[in-house]
Amino acid sequence: MTAIAITSATPTPFSLAPGATALIVIDMQRDFLLPGGFGESLGNDVGMLQKVVAPLADLIAAARTAGVPVIHTREGHRPDLSDCPPAKLLRGSPSQRIGDPGRFGRILIQGEYGHDIVDELAPIPGEVVIDKPGKGAFYATELQSVLADAGITQLLVTGVTTEVCVHTTVREANDRGYECLVVSDCVGSYFPEFQRVGLDMISAQGGIFGWVAPSSAVIDCLA
């Protein structure tokens, strides 16, 4: 299939190759989006991330219709915390730490209600869900082999938070040779300033890590 140009992408039009593209949805978990989870324990206003859900639901629906694979990630740890480095566990002075009981179960622990993806964006049968212990989706996960097996070379990157797990994943992907287009209204930050600057940093310097475009432009191309 021939490539389709997303002409409104910055810094240059993005040449989307259907059949070689996956939509990656990073960490749209209750623990980051709902009160009582990890995000709030760090002192954040979790409401800041809610605005991502509606446009991302539309983009996921368009990807499914177009046959673009949707890959979800979840940040979290084993119940015994054996995959959580002490440096991560002890970082900062949160009101609650990873593994502590929160409103939705133990915070950021696999299998707990809060660790799972919000209802509106729930994976459907057959979609890959990558459980990751770090901020980047490639570190200590099977993501690279999943992408290689599917012949994926381009990633439409969405999820939260823009400057933490989205950025880390885009940088990891960039160094592994993937072309990343970050969907501007489908990534979210607790901090408006970080959202703006985080997106600018990706497409600056001629697209040092990738491209940025709104979901409307991506959905038009997938239709």
What's the rounded Cα separation, in Å, for the pair 68 and 219?
A: 11
Per CB under 6 A, contacts with ligand TIU among 144-203 are 160-161, 164-165
* DSSP helix/strand/coil, 45: coil
Q: Which residue has the tokens 């439409």?
A: 156
Active-site residue identified among 116, 135, 165, 180 = 165
Report in angstroms how near the CB of residue 136 gets to ligand TIU at its nearest: 10
Report in angstroms how near the CB of residue 88 gets to ligand TIU at its nearest: 9
What's the rounded Cα separation, in Å, for the pair 105 and 7?
A: 44
Binding mask 74-113 for ligand TIU (x = CB under 6 A): -x--------------------------------------
* DSSP helix/strand/coil, 159: strand
The count of residues interacting with ligand TIU (CB under 6 A) is: 9
Alpha-carbon distances, residue 11 vs 39, 88, 180, 208 (angstroms): 31, 35, 12, 10
51 an active-site residue? no
Report in angstroms how near the CB of residue 112 gets to ligand TIU at its nearest: 16
Q: Does residue 42 interact with ligand TIU by CB under 6 A?
A: yes
Question: Is the Cβ of residue 49 or residue 221 nearer to ligand TIU in the bound state?
Answer: 49
Active-site residue identified among 132, 180, 186, 221 = 132
What's the rounded Cα separation, in Å, for the pair 20 and 152?
A: 4
Report in angstroms how near the CB of residue 93 gets to ligand TIU at its nearest: 14
186 an active-site residue? no
What's the rounded Cα separation, in Å, for the pair 31 and 13?
A: 35
Q: Does residue 27 interact with ligand TIU by CB under 6 A?
A: yes
Q: Does residue 71 interact with ligand TIU by CB under 6 A?
A: no
Report in angstroms how near the CB of residue 50 gets to ligand TIU at its nearest: 15
135 an active-site residue? no
**Sign of the CA dihedral with 140 first, then 124, 178, and 149 last:** positive
**DSSP string covering 179-206, please?**
EEEEEEEEEE-SSHHHHHHHHHHHHHHH
What's the rounded Cα separation, in Å, for the pair 104 and 112?
A: 7
Are 101 and 133 in contact by the 8 Å Cβ rule? The answer is no
Catalytic residue numbers, as ranges:
27, 132, 165
Q: Contact residues for ligand TIU (CB under 6 A)?
A: 27, 32, 42, 75, 135, 160-161, 164-165
